[in-house]
Chain A
Amino acid sequence: MKKILTIPMQKEVLSGLRAGDALLLSGDLYTARDAAHKRLFDLLRKGRKIPIDLRSVILYYTGPTPTPPGRPIGSAGPTTAGRMDSYTPFLLERGLRAMIGKGPRSNEVKDAIKKYGAVYMAAIGGLGAYLGRCVTSCKVVAFRELGPEAIYRLGVKDFPVVVINDGTGGDFYEATLKRWSRAGRIRR
């Protein structure tokens, strides 16, 4: 059964999320992928202000296609989260609490997620056209010159995600491998 959640989430709601929960999210997501992460990281390291409030946003790792006429956005599925791993513990330390991407995180990131009581969720990779349809509005917030890698605020409705890593150390990818793998022996 899918839980229906609105963003911004209450702190208790976020900390109550558990690995394996299937959610439908409605509210605002903020996009950021490789280049935007580097910008945020560099600004924060220099002690400068950044254009988003890390404590209240859900970062969504995506670089959408250009918006065609008659739609709020083109295709907008998740990109591989592992590429943001080198920046993520630093952003969590600065207040970030929720991220959406796809694929497993590094041990450093998982530890930081647990330490700060954050949550990492996965959207389905290859689902860009469908997820684009869940987007009701799209506005550039910062770094417009980065094109698809800019930070956009996406209004979303019933956006499907699954919780992968939760604040208690739960790891859905690892749990599923344990449950579903059948140790096939490689024939010599």
Chain B
Amino acid sequence: MRKIHATTIRNAVRELCIRANAELPRATTAALREAFSKERSRLGKETLSLLLENAREGAHERVPLCQDTGYAVFFVELGQEVRITGGSLKAALTSGVRQGYRQGFLRASIVGDPLLRKNTRTNTPCMIHYDIVRGDKLKILFLPKGGGGENASALKMLRPADGIAGAKQFVIETVRRAAAGACPPIVVGVGIGGTFDSCPLIAKKALLRPLGRRSKHALYARLERELLKEINNTGIGPSGFGGSVTALAVHVEYQACHIASLPVAVNIQCNAHRFRSITL
């Protein structure tokens, strides 16, 4: 068994929180640059060029790219030959978030109770998804997920007869409804299949795929291409100011599902598409 101390994890998470919020991943910057060259609306182009300047400002000044520094979402891959010492993994992740958000001047955006709505002031608890995998490594991926994109996201249990056309229609409707509120150009994560609980999760995981890389499955790759085209045809454009680029990418993930069901989930991510991972 390989041992990893909880303190090592906490410190790594603290850094992840701070850097992920200020540094736009290279792939996102590249996608914004490509969007700039493709965009045909003047105001859309200006918006994209400001967003690129925003990315420079974030990285140079170490200031969060967006004031919504998100719900702290983690995707953890824990090798089954790893033993965590000095405390629990969950406690280490949580205290990493608490420290990172305080020391990095990140906004505390979590209320402890959805109806009473009192801010916990620490941006905790965080949302942790665990996967037990082979090996002796611990991979932690941190995704700060803002409220704008989450609020615009949706899940629908379609009928199997609704098929591909129904799934497409639901995705397009969701994007249209999201419009400028979700901070376009957006990244669209789509989950098809699975269960009522797993479908939105694969939609979220779809966001983490290298930006613009197509599904390995030809049917889903085609679906991604068609959806991207349809979404860009909506005309919503950068920041909703109109134009030809509404989405940077559409990623579709699928899962086996029940003979009676066709769940479809759409998880929307804003133009500040940022996440960061570390392997210990």
Contacts and interface: CB of A to CB of B under 8 A. Distances in A.
A65 B106 contact: yes
A102 B180 contact: yes
A82 B178 CA distance: 11
A62 B68 CA distance: 9
- Among B63, B148, B233, the one with the most A-chain Cβ atoms within 10 Å of its Cβ is B63
A104 B168 contact: no
A117 interface: no
Interface in B206-246: 226, 229-230, 233-244
A122 B180 contact: yes
A125 B54 contact: no
Given A66-B106, A128-B54, A186-B168, A74 B64 contact: yes
Contacts of B61: 71, 129, 133
Contact of A102 (B54, B172, B181): B181
B94 interface: no
A129 B43 CA distance: 20
- Among B67, B108, B226, B242, the one with the most A-chain Cβ atoms within 10 Å of its Cβ is B67
A150 B189 CA distance: 33
Interface stretch (B45-53, B78-86, B135-143): B45-53
Nearest to A83: B151
Contacts of A187: 165, 168, 226
A107 interface: no
Question: For the side of the interface on A, what is the size category?
Answer: 35 or more
Contacts of B270: 125-126
Contacts of A64: 67, 107
Interface in B27-76: 41, 43, 46-47, 50-51, 53-54, 57-58, 61-69
A176 B109 contact: no
Contacts of A63: 67-68, 107, 109
B243 A180 contact: yes
B235 A182 contact: yes
Interface string A158-181: 001010000000001101110111
B67 A67 contact: no
B24 to A, nearest CB: 10
Contacts of B153: none
Interface in B146-167: 147-148, 151, 165
A54 to B, nearest CB: 24
A97 B64 CA distance: 31
A125 B238 CA distance: 9
A80 interface: yes
B63 A183 contact: no
B67 A75 contact: yes
B43 to A, nearest CB: 7
Contacts of A130: 50, 53-54, 57
16 contacts: A63-B107, A74-B63, A79-B148, A82-B181, A102-B180, A102-B240, A126-B271, A128-B54, A128-B64, A129-B64, A133-B61, A162-B43, A180-B235, A183-B233, A184-B233, A186-B172
